[in-house]
Amino acid sequence: MLHNDTLNLFVNLILLGLITGAVFYLLHLILVKVFKSVSFTYFTSFIMTSLASLFILQPFFQVSDEVILGYSLFWYVAQVVISHQYIRKNSNPFPLGWLIVSVILVLSYPSVSNYINEYSATKNTLDDDVASVQTEIDASTEVENDTSEQTIDEPTTDYKNIIDYAKKHVVWIQSYDRVGTGFMFNSNGDILTNAHVVEADGYPYIQFENGDEFQGIVIGSDSLLDVAVIRVDDLQGKSYLDIETTELPKIGDEVIAIGNPRGLRNIGTWGEILDLGVDLGLTNGIEMENMISTSTQIAEGSSGGPLLNGETGKVIGINTAADLKYKEGYSIPV
């Protein structure tokens, strides 16, 4: 029997395929009346379907850009091959040139997308690559109502040292249909993250701050507790972040959260523990119980990152969720 998450993904992919096919066909019917070239009409329909799907459909179906473009290319090829059987007699050449251009666009998209993300990250981070996610969220959501000068808090020397060291062991994770964060926690080459980050992909790619990239394998996952472990054999024997085992976290303790929020890489935010043992109930199939509530901001893409003790730099939790309204982050204790 299929797991509910797998079944939902399967249904979403079918619906997305049917919708992109319908969009492509309708665009072709409209554009064929504008352009005399049937080949160019198909190519234009492919481009417009891809853009419409990326900006309108993707937020609803939560799949990767490559899946969106793959569907658009599939319908392009299907429509061309079928229609060519009817237009050959009219001496219309098979649009091989436009097909090749479309395939090149799809294959080059990941590189272009990564370049845009890296450029965005460089443009928006501080010189020392440490910025406050909270300031970014406030600036983007309240800019129309607040014209006062915005500032970004600088980390203290102790915070900066902890963040600089931790960032070397924090990774950006790219799975089938989402991105997230993880961190090395032992010498076996194991990376700890949230299960929802890798639930659809047993072989995610990871990337370190220095650009080193590896493909790992998920060796353990608990979707109910939202914890997963990725193993990368090439990382065996490497340094890692220590887990805090001697001192239990207390309300008021200073903490640091590190993650990859909204296209940025290895961003550190800091705050304090607001509450312990917080029970948020069952959320999206995950038991949000016994959580650590903090004033550090956790944004999309930071899931799976480490929550560090602000004094020792040791890991006390896994960043998992956030309440943007009340500006609180929630982490799973380790």
pLDDT digits (tens, 9 = 90+) for 97-118: 555 555 555 554 444 444 444 4
pLDDT digits (tens, 9 = 90+) for 223-260: 888 999 999 999 999 999 999 998 899 999 999 999 99
297, 321 Cβ separation under 8 angstroms:
no
Residue 55 located in a structural domain = yes
More confident residue, 140 or 39: 39
Q: Is the pLDDT of residue 302 over 80?
A: yes
pLDDT of residue 115: 41
More confident residue, 96 or 21: 21
pLDDT of residue 147: 37
Residue 144 located in a structural domain = no
Residue ranges making up the domain that contains 75:
4-123
SS3 annotation, the chain: CCCHHHHHHHHHHHHHHHHHHHHHHHHHHHHCCCCCCHHHHHHHHHHHHHHHHHHHHHHHHCCCHHHHHHHHHHHHHHHHHHHHHHHHHHCCCCCHHHHHHHHHHHHHHHHHHHHHHHHHHHHHCCCCCCCCHHHHHHHHHCCCCCCCCCCCCCCCHHHHHHHHHHHCCEEEEECCCCEEEEEECCCCCEEEECHHHHCCCCCCEEECCCCCEEECEEEEEECCCCEEEEECHHHCCCCCCCECCCCCCCCCCEEEEEECHHHCCCEEEEEEEEEEEECCEEECCEEECCEEEECCCCCCCCCCCEEEECCCCCEEEEEEEEECCCCEEEEEEC
Residue 26 located in a structural domain = yes
Give the pTM: 0.55
Residue 17 located in a structural domain = yes
What's the structural domain count of the chain? Answer: 1
More confident residue, 248 or 2: 248
Query: Mean pLDDT: which of 20-24, 84-88, 120-124, 135-139 is highest?
Result: 20-24
Identify the band that residue 42 occupies on the pLDDT scale cut at 50, 70 and 90: low
Residue 28 located in a structural domain = yes
pLDDT of residue 325: 79
Q: Is the pLDDT of residue 309 over 80?
A: yes
Mean of all residue pLDDT scores within the chain? 75
pLDDT digits (tens, 9 = 90+) for 268-294: 999 999 999 999 887 766 778 899 999
More confident residue, 135 or 305: 305
pLDDT digits (tens, 9 = 90+) for 180-194: 999 999 999 999 999
Q: Is the pLDDT of residue 86 over 70?
A: no
Percent of the residues in the chain that have a pLDDT greater than 90, as a whole number: 38
Q: Is the pLDDT of residue 328 over 70?
A: yes
Q: Is the pLDDT of residue 75 over 60?
A: yes
Residue 82 located in a structural domain = yes
